Amino acid sequence: MALRGTLRQAQDELRAEAVPDMQFGDRFAPVVDPERSRRGARNDNTHPFWQILVSGGILSAHVRTRRHSMVRKTVGYVELEWTCPNCNSRNPGPNKFCNGCGAPQPDDVEFEQPAEEKLITDQAKIARAKAGPDVHCPYCGTRNPGDAKFCGSCGGDLTGATARQAGRVVGVHRTAPAGMVNCPSCHAENDATAFNCSQCGASLADVRAKPVAPEPPTPTAAVRKPFPGGLAIGLIVFCFAVVAGVFFLFIRTETFVGQVQSVEWTRSIPILAMGEVENEDWLEDIPSDAEIGTCRLEHHHTQDEPAPNAEEVCGEPYTLDTGSGYGEVVQDCVYEVYEEYCSYTMLDWIEIDTITASGGDLNPYWPQVNLQSDQQQGEGEESYEIVFMADDVPYTYTTTDSAEFSQFTVGSTWQLNVNALDAVVSVEPDR
């Protein structure tokens, strides 16, 4: 179908623009919250998703709770860095020993984002990033690759060594040029990506840019189905009931005696005939005997899984700590599914006329209806109006209950409950 073809092309272009290194369909893995899987499943259905970052890369509160998981796509890999707790030197993430003092990176020193994140193209480094978190030697504490059998520093057996934390959000992916920072010691201007001051050699660890929490994807709202007539009426009745309830509950009524001055009844019956009715709906929901008019693709719903008729909407890319000194840049995506929304015409009973009877007595009757062979009688409507006089002021009461109406003999007296708007809310016999 031509419409779909155009949409697919637009989607492909969109995708190519957003994630140049990716093919549609690449690396769609179910999202696993690493923290969650490490700790084991919990009983609650909701799991913390977006994690807010506070200064210095320390992770704190979970601010957003999601109902279900989105698709997390890998954009690429970047090199992280870490700061030596002994000498405050900044070090490249893959370095296991400090460039400044030679001490190994302790297991409680977290990786941080560099001032500017460049996607790695070196396949060996990418393989390292994908290989999983590094482990710390139980004997000397040195970081070793996750698949190492023996410690590269002391030769100790790494069986059962503890793996580094992986999956932590380190911040929004930093693609923009890092800019400049001032050395905390000599105030000389330095490139923000520099580890040490070019003038005095001091560590620039303390002026490192703070990470920013990522934003989730924001899908557009789906087209709403038109209200079926019955539902619309139901909704109006419901709203009216709520409003009436408010009046009953919050507005005080006044009660006094009134005398029936006049009554009036109206009864009407609609005459129905078959006619063409125009409407719009999702193609799949249109009755099979309807004649389909023009169709267009409209946003039907948003889902977590890719689909042939879906447009991908992704959130801001952000970086995860892989535990290997490299970060995985990912983005969460949802899929806006488009379906055909069509106009259609079909034959249905429509109201062509209304026959009404009315009178000023207590003997209402239904009007005489003479139907033609292609006509039907609709549901009759009745309404009754009673005018009371109280202290020379007229009060009108209306009802649809014919049994109640039959009691309002002209001249009889009643207790009227009148609200602040001078409307008769209810009527009781005057005893």
Single residue of 140, 236, 257, 393 touching Zn ion by CB under 5 A = 140
Task: Write the CA distances from 266 to 263, 359, 370, 382, integer angstroms.
Answer: 10, 7, 19, 6
Single residue of 16, 29, 154, 393 touching Zn ion by CB under 5 A = 154
381-391 exposure pattern, b = at least 16 Cβ within 10 A, e = fewer: ebbbbbbbebe
Q: How far is the CB of 30 from Zn ion (least distance, A)?
A: 36
- Residue 166 as a binder of Zn ion (CB under 5 A): the answer is no
Reading the block at residue 166, the tokens are 């992986």
- Ranges within 24-83 binding Zn ion (CB under 5 A): none
Q: How far is the CB of 91 from Zn ion (least distance, A)?
A: 8
| Nearest residue (CB) to Zn ion, 90 versus 173 | 90
Q: Beta 162-163 vs 135-136: how paired, if at all?
A: antiparallel
Single residue of 135, 172, 181, 183 touching Zn ion by CB under 5 A = 183
Stretch that binds Zn ion, among 23-31, 87-95, 284-292, 296-304 (CB under 5 A): 87-95
Single residue of 11, 51, 83, 89 touching Zn ion by CB under 5 A = 89
- Residue 180 as a binder of Zn ion (CB under 5 A): the answer is no
- Residue 416 as a binder of Zn ion (CB under 5 A): the answer is no
Q: How far is the CB of 157 from Zn ion (least distance, A)?
A: 9
**249 phi and psi, to 5 degrees?**
-80, -40
Distance CA 293, CA 73 (A): 40
- Phi-psi region for residue 187, left (φ > 0), alpha (ψ -120 to 50) or beta? left
Give the other-Cβ count within 10 Å of 285's Cβ. 10
Distance CA 216, CA 246 (A): 40
Single residue of 19, 151, 170, 263 touching Zn ion by CB under 5 A = 151
Which H or E element spans position 10?
helix 2-18
Single residue of 32, 101, 232, 274 touching Zn ion by CB under 5 A = 101
Site of interaction with Zn ion (CB under 5 A) = 84, 86-87, 89, 98, 100-101, 137, 139-140, 142, 151, 153-154, 156, 183, 185-186, 188, 197, 199-200, 202
